[in-house]
Chains A and B, each alone.
Chain A
Amino acid sequence: MAVNYFNYLRKEKMPHIWCAGCGHGMIVKSIIRAIDKLGWKNDEIALVSGIGCSSRTPGYLDFHTLHTTHGRALAFATGIKLAKPNLKVIVVGGDGDMMAIGGNHFIHACRRNIDMKLIVYNNNIYGMTGGQASPTTLTDAKATTAPYGFLEEPFDVCNMAIASGATFVGRALDLDVPLMDRVILESFKHKGFSVVDAWSQCPTYFGRFNKWGSASEMMERYKQIIYNIRQKDQLSEEEKKGKYPVGILHQIERNEFCERYQKLRDTLKGKEEAE
């Protein structure tokens, strides 16, 4: 049955502010489809964001929504989840939010393995503030603060997540909707901290500065630098060099923090009086 998006959207907040050709709306639709498929109720979801284009998402979705300060979404979300573990906590943020100003919160959230769902809307640029370079801007690409090209190496969101201990890590691009749907849905089903590196294009800034053209032309460019993780063994090292795998990249089982904490409370029951 077709998904009725308006069951999840705050209709009166439409139209959204995202530019024509921006992929953020595609990510939001994938999120909605995953929620719909899982039958999650609006009232049991808390959606938390930082600051930036991606972080306008909570305003549009009819859940308990929180638009925090720049980079701090995971910190606020940690408090929400630990205080009310029954809530499904989804966190959204941009590449600046999660990889720059909120980088410390990102790695520690991965390490703790609290059952929260992080989706990084990654468009390699600070869109809201006018196209400055971000920690995922590709080397040599142009931005308003990298007018001669970006001289640094970008972070790989997924490698960072895996190295920090996230128990589910996936990457998908808005140009491949079925894959985006699958990766987000599986991340939501996962018990533990999940990270989805959701690529979206920013034709307004990144595309324009780098003469990458329209949104669809940008998608063609992105296609050249990815490969499906399922083809990992068929491709040579040479063919994979400098390219980003997409799909579900990592999934392991590890103790989830809230469950561990509840176990601790249960073990300690009755001990206060004895003390």
Chain B
Amino acid sequence: MQEKKNIKFLSGNEACGEGAIVAGCRFFGGYPISPSSEIAEFMSKRLPLVGGTFIQMEDEIASIGAILGASLAGVKSMTATSGPGLSLMQENIGFGAMAEIPTVIVDVMRGGPSTGNPTGPSQSDVMAIRWGTHGDYPAVALCPESVNEVFLLTIEAFNIAEFLRTPVVLAMDEITAHMREKVELLKESDVKIVNRKKPEKMPYLPYEYGEDLIPPLPGYGEGFRFHVTGLNHDKTGFPTNKSELMEEGNRRIMEKLDKNKDKVIKHEEFMTEDCDILVVAYGSSARAAKRAVRTAREKGIKAGLFRPITLYPLSEKALQKAAGKAKKVIVPEMNLGQYILIVERVIGHGFPIIGINQVDGEPISPSKILSKIEE
């Protein structure tokens, strides 16, 4: 007998919590901030029921510190925040990248800069997610367009973090966070769950890596004593200021993402095979874009949509291919032109790349995108 599907009507923030629990998250440290707070509320209720731990920290700096600590102790961890909190977390996101600690940071984007617009949708953190911490680091960010996808991508965010041994950002916006939609809740046994690679034998060097460039990571207290620092370090984990070792370490954390990016990258294409006009959109803006593309097709205009699901890394080859025959590329974003910079870099400047930019706290409408398509 086929088991009945577990369909629920949830907000994106609730779906994110459900996804985290399925992924194996058993520690949440966070600080209230709109429009992400329902994730913390969900986790505070659910985690003690499944043997996990929730703690409300004193600020976002403490929150990211706590989740990195919990992960080093071997427990999958997560925090959720919004722009101002993301700004506060930046230093320790870099620590997580440098020390190679898997964790998930949910950023429910709101308008910025500063306090901005706490209750309206925005995509204002797209560059902060990529370049926010100082130094070069392997940014990974996923961007869902629907509540069901929030559930699935939260699980995926944990899987990537565990696989690559690095912090991963789930970039939602106020619409995907607060909108209620149908979600099919899958059980742990129905989805792929990735757990970090652990060392098999002593002596163990915490930053010794194999072909995939990803070193194994045991939890504190599991018999492998090791040192972790945010300083440049060698394979032993202890600080080094030897030029060649600093160069190697800094390059490797970038190369491990590059080398494994095909296992990470996700994107969606909609009617791109023959498109004259390509729309590149992500998150809730992509839903408006999809509607606009469909209407354009009904009117006989060959429009298509490319939706990066992993904002970082982006499937550059696929984007180049999708833009191959296009005469015009349109990038709608709820910011003043952030991801368009990446699109321009990837597909070049040979033809018009036009931004649709809106920072009024309202979503971009399909008709606005359609009129740009028709222009």
Residues of A within 8 A of B (CB): 13, 42-44, 46, 48, 58-59, 62-69, 72, 74-84, 86-87, 104-105, 107-108, 261, 264-265, 268, 271-272, 275
Q: How far is the CA of A272 from the CA of B21 in the complex (A)?
A: 13
Chain B residues with Cβ below 8 Å from A268 are: 48-49
Q: How far is the CA of A104 from the CA of B67 in the complex (A)?
A: 17
Pair B69/A77 contact, Cβ less than 8 Å:
yes
Tell which of B48, B50, B65 touches A76, judged by Cβ atoms closer than 8 Å.
B65
Chain B residues with Cβ below 8 Å from A44 are: 221
Pair B226/A64 contact, Cβ less than 8 Å:
yes
Residues of B within 8 A of A (CB): 26-27, 29, 48-51, 53, 55, 57-59, 61-75, 77, 91-92, 95, 219-221, 223, 225-231, 238-239
A65's nearest neighbour on chain B, judged by CB, is B227
Q: Report which residue of B48, B73, B226, B230 has the largest number of chain A beta carbons within 10 angstroms of its beta carbon.
A: B73
Nearest CB in chain A: distance from B17 CB, A: 14
In the A-B complex, list the 3 residue pairs whose CB atoms are closest, starting with the nearest.
Answer: A79-B69, A75-B65, A79-B66
Tell which of B65, B72, B225 touches A63, judged by Cβ atoms closer than 8 Å.
B225
Nearest CB in chain B: distance from A171 CB, A: 25
Chain A residues with Cβ below 8 Å from B230 are: 67-69
Q: How far is the CA of A74 from the CA of B272 in the complex (A)?
A: 51
Q: How far is the CA of A57 from the CA of B51 in the complex (A)?
A: 33
Chain A residues with Cβ below 8 Å from B66 are: 75-76, 78-79, 82
Chain A residues with Cβ below 8 Å from B62 are: 72, 74-75, 78, 104-105, 108
For this complex, 29 residue pairs linking A to B, each with C-beta atoms less than 8 Å apart, are A46-B73, A48-B69, A59-B229, A59-B239, A64-B220, A65-B226, A65-B228, A67-B227, A67-B228, A67-B230, A69-B91, A69-B230, A75-B57, A75-B65, A76-B65, A76-B72, A78-B62, A78-B66, A78-B69, A79-B67, A80-B70, A82-B53, A83-B74, A87-B220, A104-B59, A105-B58, A105-B65, A108-B62, A261-B48
Chain B residues with Cβ below 8 Å from A78 are: 29, 55, 57, 62, 65-66, 69
Pair B221/A66 contact, Cβ less than 8 Å:
no
Q: How far is the CA of A7 from the CA of B97 in the complex (A)?
A: 32
B98's nearest neighbour on chain A, judged by CB, is A69
Pair B74/A79 contact, Cβ less than 8 Å:
no
Pair B95/A69 contact, Cβ less than 8 Å:
yes
Q: How far is the CA of A95 from the CA of B53 in the complex (A)?
A: 30
Tell which of A66, A261, A275 touches B228, judged by Cβ atoms closer than 8 Å.
A66
Q: How far is the CA of A62 from the CA of B226 in the complex (A)?
A: 8
A257's nearest neighbour on chain B, judged by CB, is B55
Chain A residues with Cβ below 8 Å from B27 are: 79, 82-83
Given contacts A44-B221, A67-B228, 19 further A-B contacts (CB under 8 A): A43-B225, A64-B225, A64-B226, A66-B72, A67-B229, A67-B231, A68-B230, A72-B62, A75-B64, A75-B69, A78-B29, A79-B77, A80-B73, A80-B220, A83-B69, A83-B77, A84-B221, A86-B221, A104-B58
Nearest CB in chain A: distance from B293 CB, A: 42
Q: How far is the CA of A107 from the CA of B239 in the complex (A)?
A: 30
Nearest CB in chain A: distance from B325 CB, A: 49
A73's nearest neighbour on chain B, judged by CB, is B65
Q: State whether A69 and B92 are in contact (beta carbons under 8 Å apart), knowing that A43-B223, A64-B226 are contacts in the complex.
A: yes
Q: How far is the CA of A46 from the CA of B225 in the complex (A)?
A: 9
Nearest CB in chain B: distance from A11 CB, A: 13
Q: State whether A46 and B65 are in contact (beta carbons under 8 Å apart), knowing that A67-B227, A69-B230, A79-B70 are contacts in the complex.
A: no
Nearest CB in chain A: distance from B131 CB, A: 19
Pair B70/A59 contact, Cβ less than 8 Å:
no
Pair B53/A261 contact, Cβ less than 8 Å:
yes
Nearest CB in chain A: distance from B358 CB, A: 36
Chain B residues with Cβ below 8 Å from A80 are: 69-70, 72-73, 220
Pair A271/B49 contact, Cβ less than 8 Å:
yes
A261's nearest neighbour on chain B, judged by CB, is B53
Tell which of B221, B229, B239 touches A87, judged by Cβ atoms closer than 8 Å.
B221
Pair A72/B61 contact, Cβ less than 8 Å:
yes
Chain B residues with Cβ below 8 Å from A83 are: 26-27, 53, 69-71, 73-75, 77
Pair A265/B48 contact, Cβ less than 8 Å:
yes
B225's nearest neighbour on chain A, judged by CB, is A64
